[in-house]
């Protein structure tokens, strides 16, 4: 077996029970189409194939691992490539389910892209660093709540399913992991609003300790101050106090002028 590549975030899951629980959370039905991100040596793949969905695809960047997978599971369609460059728009049906024990070094940008670009899908289940799992599932007002939280939650509802300790991986990571379920919202921002929302969130959370009237001061007199008053929100609030929906409403209302 070749050595694990740290540059590809390779921490291979050794515990069949954890793998089984992650795949069970996908609730695979016979007509489903499952896409696994980073199958590695197949810890999750084994359980996915055993559930007998209609189609299984596996997207793996490591060419050596990608080559070895179909020998073990001939039904597997292996896509040798980079998940950060995947055309997520091609996912377009509620029978699509996406799963992965994600490489920790790319998990946040990957989820950011997937969640906003994918069309319809049934559900997604990702294992990520526990700290990222907490950010993905944080409530407004908490220290874990940030740009990633407010972004993701405009596209999907998230649930932290369970925590996984380092002992079940080889090599062992230094930190805990968490498994998060994503269920797409019926009403998600369109492309233009999403661009504005991304810009707004970055502007706000880069200065998360400042008051919003200060962060947004160049636009405050151009309608945003008025909008805050209409919503019953004070300009002394900080970004972490606004809900994901507040950010979306602001991006949709003022995006054309300020954030694109």
Select the residue interacting with ligand SAM from 25, 34, 35, 40 (CB under 6 A).
Answer: 40
**Which positions ≥6 away from 69 have C-beta within 8 Å?**
39, 42, 45, 58, 60, 76, 78
Nearer to ligand SAM, 105 or 222 (CB): 105
Closest to ligand SAM by CB, 132 or 197: 132
Q: For the CB of residue 41, give the shortest distance to ligand SAM in the complex, in Å.
A: 6
Tokens of 161: 């399913």
Separation CA 97–CA 157 (nearest Å): 15
Q: Is 178 in the site for ligand SAM (CB under 6 A)?
A: no
Stretch that binds ligand SAM, among 32-40, 68-76, 150-158, 211-219 (CB under 6 A): 32-40
Residue 116, interface with ligand SAM (CB under 6 A)? no
Q: Which of 28, 83, 91, 212 binds ligand SAM (CB under 6 A)?
A: 83
Q: Where are the alpha helices (DSSP H) in the chain?
A: 16-24, 45-50, 63-72, 107-117, 130-136, 147-152, 191-205, 212-215, 217-219, 225-231, 244-258
Q: Considering only CA atoms, which of 100, 80, 242, 254 is closest in space to residue 180?
A: 100
> Of 23, 34, 59, 204, which one interacts with ligand SAM (CB under 6 A)?
59
- Given strand 123-129, what is the order of strands in its sheet? 77-80, 55-60, 33-37, 96-101, 123-129, 177-184, 156-164
Nearer to ligand SAM, 167 or 186 (CB): 167
**Judged by CB, which is closer to ligand SAM: 61, or 134?**
61
Contact range with ligand SAM by CB under 6 A, out of 56-64, 141-149, 150-158, 201-209: 56-64
Q: Does 60 interact with ligand SAM (rule: CB under 6 A)? A: yes
Q: What count of residues does the chain have?
A: 260
Please report whether residue 162 would count as binding ligand SAM according to CB under 6 A: no
- The DSSP line for 91-109 is ---TTEEEEEE--TTTHHH
Residue 23: name the closest of 120, 13, 111 by CA: 13
* Binding flag, residue 248, ligand SAM (CB under 6 A): no
The 8-27 site mask, x for binding ligand SAM (CB under 6 A), equals xxxxxx--------------
* Contact status: 168 vs ligand SAM (CB under 6 A): no
- Interface with ligand SAM by CB under 6 A: which residues? 8-13, 37-41, 43-44, 59-62, 65, 82-84, 101, 103, 106
């Amino acid at each position: 077996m070749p050595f694990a590549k740290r540059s590809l975030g390779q921490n291979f899951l050794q515990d069949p029970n954890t793998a089984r629980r992650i795949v069970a959370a996908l609730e695979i039905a016979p007509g489903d189409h499952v896409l696994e991100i980073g199958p590695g040596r197949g810890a999750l793949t084994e359980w996915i194939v055993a559930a007998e969905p209609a189609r299984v695809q596996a997207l793996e960047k490591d060419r050596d691992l990608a080559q070895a997978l179909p020998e073990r599971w001939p039904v597997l369609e292996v896509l040798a490539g980079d998940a950060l460059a995947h055309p997520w728009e091609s996912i377009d049906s509620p029978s699509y389910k996406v799963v992965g024990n994600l490489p920790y070094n790319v998990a946040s940008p990957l989820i950011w892209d997937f969640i906003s670009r994918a069309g319809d899908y049934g559900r997604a289940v990702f294992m990520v660093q526990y700290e990222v799992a907490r950010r993905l599932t944080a409530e407004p007002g908490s220290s874990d709540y940030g740009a990633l939280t407010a972004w993701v939650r405009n596209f999907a509802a998230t649930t932290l399913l369970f925590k996984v300790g380092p002992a079940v991986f080889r090599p062992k990571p230094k930190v805990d992991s968490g498994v998060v379920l994503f269920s797409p919202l019926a009403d998600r921002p369109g492309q233009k609003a999403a661009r504005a929302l991304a810009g707004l969130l970055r502007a706000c959370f880069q200065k998360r300790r400042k008051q919003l009237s200060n962060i947004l001061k160049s636009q405050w007199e151009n309608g945003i101050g008025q909008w805050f008053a209409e919503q019953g929100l004070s300009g002394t609030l900080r970004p972490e106090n606004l809900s994901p929906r507040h950010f979306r409403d602001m991006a949709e209302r003022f995006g054309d002028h300020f954030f694109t």
